Amino acid sequence: MIENDIDLQPHNTLAISAHSAFFARVETLEQLREALAFARDRSLPILPLGGGSNIVLTGDYPGLVIQVDLRGFSIRSDNSGHILEAAAGENWHRIVMATVQGELGGLENLALIPGKIGAAPIQNIGAYGVELCDRFVSLQAMEIASGELRNFAAKDCSFSYRDSVFKGKLRDKYIITQVNLCLPKKWQAHIDYPALSQYVAGQNWNVDRLTPSQVAQAVIDIRNSKLPLPDKIPNAGSFFKNPIVDTHSYLNLKAEHPDLVAFAAGDCWKLAAGWLIDRAGWRGVRRDAVGVHELQALVLVNPGRGAGAEVTRLAEDIAEDVHAKFGVSLEPEPRYYP
């Protein structure tokens, strides 16, 4: 079950070549426990891996990479709604499409997000006005130190924008094994996001009679129009979080840049990181093996299969330039390993 010296290039969507000292693909909870015991006995660090769409490998990994390939999902209905239970290794987009094909709404705005469902709660994935926490019920995770299973309710996860307890105080403490969501019985389309509402208007669809499939198709078409598929051009999706600033900072920026793209976020404002990077002049820039996508400045690409250090240097230079020009700090979404 445990393999030695494995090239991780096929296992990350940035197609970065880096070797793992040890590698295990687990399909059952017992295999996961055995892999964790192997690492504990040798005092090895552990890198849990799903679809590899939210990591940047900055060098060889000296420990055990565990590819979580737990499978299976089901949908049942109760008084609260339609309960979806999925093992962590299930592909996120396939789950979304299975729900909309069954005429169940609630996940359609999150269509075509790469990766596995087990990674979805860690950064509270979101798109087009919907976040995972809006549909979240609970999850099951295995403690790395003991191999014991624990259930987490929504209140235990400390969800916020692109964040959760698993990126904070429980970072590197658990491996998620199952995620449970609830889809509403009375579904209502969420198309307030400008790109979505414009797309729907252009289709001449009846807004009052939209279906989950129509909204999912709109999201897929919009994403395909500006985001490269990793199997065509290696990338990790949106590389930076949209920065959140207070109202005073927003108004100052808006006065200086009237076309600033931003969205209200409670008492604060969420700035479009892609707009900041684009306006700073980085869209389409190519630097040796890596670059910034020509259609979406928020996406860093690796068409030349460069090293992780090339990606991180580019990201750091972009962040420094954006801060110098706008006074706004950018934070990467993917996690760097090791």
Active site residue 143: no
Domain of residue 122 covers 73-183
* Known catalytic membership, residue 90: no
Residue closest to 182 by CA, chosen among 75, 107, 81: 81
Catalytic residue chosen out of the listed positions 90, 108, 131, 333: 333
Question: 135, 181 in Cβ contact below 8 A?
Answer: yes
Last residue of a domain, one of 68, 94, 115: 68
Give domain status of residue 189, yes or no: no
Judge if the upstream peptide bond of residue 332 is cis by omega within 30 degrees of 0: no
Closest listed residue to residue 38, CA positions, set 56, 17, 21: 21
What pLDDT is stored for residue 115 in this prediction?
Answer: 95
Q: What sections of 204-334 are H helices per DSSP? A: 212-226, 247-256, 273-279, 308-326
Compute the chain's Rg from CA coordinates.
20
Average pLDDT over residues 209-214: 96
Q: Which tokens go with 99?
A: 């729900």
Residue 3, classed as helix, strand or coil, is: strand
Q: Are 267 and 249 in contact (CB under 8 A)?
A: no
Tell me the CATH number at 299.
3.90.78.10
Q: Could you tell me if 48 and 89 lie in one domain?
A: no
Asked whether residue 200 is domain-assigned, the answer is: no
Which one of the listed residues 150, 162, 313, 335 is annotated catalytic?
A: 162
**Active-site residue, 27 included:** no
Q: Is the pLDDT of residue 294 over 90?
A: yes
Distance between CA atoms of residues 20 and 39, nearest Å = 13
Assess whether 79 and 158 both reside in one domain: yes
Among the listed residues 53, 138, 164, 238, the single catalytic one is 238
Average pLDDT of the chain?
97
pLDDT value, residue 1:
79
- Cα 249 to chain centroid distance, Å, stands at 27
The token duo for 100 is 């909309």
CATH code of the domain in which 88 resides:
3.30.465.10
Distances 73 to 36, 62, 178, 179 between C-alpha atoms, Å: 24, 33, 9, 9
Of the candidates 14, 29, 166, the one whose C-alpha atom is nearest the C-alpha of residue 87 is 29
Domain tally, the chain: 3
Q: Which whole number is the average pLDDT over 73-99?
A: 96
* The domain boundary residue, chosen from 151, 183, 215: 183
Supply the CATH number for residue 12's domain: 3.30.43.10
117 and 56 within one domain:
no
Q: Is residue 196 part of a domain?
A: no
Domain edge (last residue) among 68, 103, 119: 68
d(CA 125, CA 118) in angstroms, rounded, equals 11
In a shared domain, residues 272 and 320: yes
Q: What is the pLDDT of residues 135-189, one digit of tens each?
A: 999 999 999 999 999 999 999 999 999 999 999 999 999 999 999 999 999 999 9
229 domain-assigned = no
Domain assignment present for residue 175? The answer is: yes
